[in-house]
Amino acid sequence: MASTQHRNSLCQDVLAGVGLFSDLSKAQVRSVARLMTCVKVPAGRALTTEGEVGREFMVVVDGQASVRRDGRLIATLGPGDFVGEMSLIAGTPRSATVIAETDMLVETLNRREFSTLLDESPKVARKIMVGTVKRLQEAVGGPVA
């Protein structure tokens, strides 16, 4: 039990420093932390695979990942970045492959936990939606009408 409490405390400290959660109170961060699962990802492992069904939303806590669409590098992710929201929101296949370039630490939410997060935290939901729209605009090369 002590290790679980230590993990939750550590998770809360890390999450509080992530831009996505920066507007939340300590109580709200604790609530988010309870939903999330911390996962270590070794360098070279795929976090998502283009065309596959998405099941998780991930926030990068530590490390770097490359984002590729049709084999072409389109972005690099680092601490505070997130991935996987589009597939969960729209119920569509993954739009890109994300590969860990270094050993990584990511916080994950499954579909049910992600829905709970959006329902319970409008501030976080708004930030996720803004990030999603920006990615869509980048993907289509301009504003999305």
Q: What is the domain partition of the chain in residue ranges?
A: 37-140
pLDDT in tens, 80-120: 888 988 888 888 899 899 999 999 999 998 999 988 888 88
| CA angle (30, 111, 93) in 5-degree steps | 140
Any idea how long the chain is? 145
Using the predicted structure, report yes or no on whether residue 63 has a pLDDT greater than 90: yes
pLDDT-derived band at 64 (thresholds 50, 70, 90) equals very high
Burial class (CB in 10 A: 0-12, 13-18, 19+), 116: middle
Tell me if residue 53 falls in helix, strand or coil.
strand
Contact status, residue 64 vs residue 77, Cβ threshold 8 Å = yes
Task: Tell me the H-state helices in the chain.
Answer: 2-16, 26-35, 85-90, 111-120, 122-140
Pairing of strands 82-83, 97-100: unpaired
Band (pLDDT 50/70/90 cuts) for residue 58 is very high
**Domain 37-140 adopts which CATH fold?**
Jelly Rolls (2.60.120)
pLDDT in the model for residue 26: 82
